[in-house]
Structure 1
Amino acid sequence: MPLQLDHTIVPAHDKVKSAEFIARMFGLKYEGPWGHFAPVKVNDILTLDFDDSDNPRSNHYAFLASDEEFDGILQRIKDERVVFGSGPRSRTDGEINHLHQGRGFYFECENGHVWEVITHTYITD
């Protein structure tokens, strides 16, 4: 079996509020706490474990999405009036990019984390 990321801890000012927000934006379910985490199951092998932190430091989380998933996430972002943008240094321009034969955009959550959604990876064999 190839090495796979199983879970990662996402520091948050309010773990439940943050888990609910990301689950909503990505069209996922937040089903309540597990231990002291607020987990959001992304897929069969990855869970985001939100955890309270007095001073969460900004992290970058990038997700590869199908065109259909991308469209759904972008629509939910727009519906909730979340600021988004086309690049890591242009996260507020309200545009998407068309890099690497795909589409992409970035948005931030209240914890300062940068969330990226792309339809084509830029790392190739």
Structure 2
Amino acid sequence: MPIQLSRIVVFARDKRESARFLADLLGLDEPKSVGAFTAVRLGDGVTLHYAQPGADFPRQRYTFLVGDADFDSIFARIREWGLPYWADPYRRRMGELDTQGGGRRLYLDDPSGHGLEITTRL
């Protein structure tokens, strides 16, 4: 059996809000309660388990590789919701997409302050 990533814990200020935000943004199924976690299942079988640690936590960045049609849908939601986004992780090019390397990429923040990268190419 090949080694695969099954799940990862993501700390959040409000686990339900952050899980719902990601599921809605990416067009995924409704988050589910799993014990102390709120879980979002990705299309590749990996599950993100959102948890509220009750303490400060460092900002992380999570990268999601998506197809062109999914990128279009996600980007439309970002614009519809009026969310700020950048073409770079350093936030120098607000309101732009990164198209270097032949794909499309953007960066935005989730409700807990984590950076999300949405890209069509790695």
Q: Is 1:116 paired with 2:117?
A: yes
Count of aligned residue pairs for this structure pair:
121
| Percent identity of equivalent pairs | 33
Is 1:102 the equivalent of 2:103?
Answer: yes
Q: TM-score, normalised by structure 1?
A: 0.90
Counterparts of 1:1-125 in structure 2, within 5 Å, are 1-53=1-53, 54-90=55-91, 93-121=94-122
Unaligned runs of 5+ in 1: none
SS class of match (2:34): coil
Secondary structure of 1:107's match?
Answer: strand
- For residues 24-61 of structure 1, the C-alpha deviation after alignment (integer angstroms, 9 at most, x for no partner) is 10101224311010000012421111001231321110
Distance in 2 of aligned mates of 1:96 and 1:112 = 20
Query: Which consecutive residues of structure 2, in runs of 5 or more, have no partner in the other structure?
Result: none
Q: Distance in 1 between matches of 2:92 and 2:18?
A: 19
Does structure 2 retain, via aligned residues, the 8 Å contact 1:83–1:91?
A: no
Q: Distance in 2 between matches of 1:36 and 1:61?
A: 21
Q: How far does residue 3 in structure 1 lie from its aligned partner after superposition?
A: 2.3
Please state whether the residue corresponding to 2:62 is helix, strand or coil: strand
Write out per-residue CA displacement over residues 78-98 of structure 1, whole angstroms, 9 at most, x where no aligned residue. 111111110111266011110
Change (3 A) 1:44 1:27: same
Name the Cα RMSD after superposition. Answer: 1.4
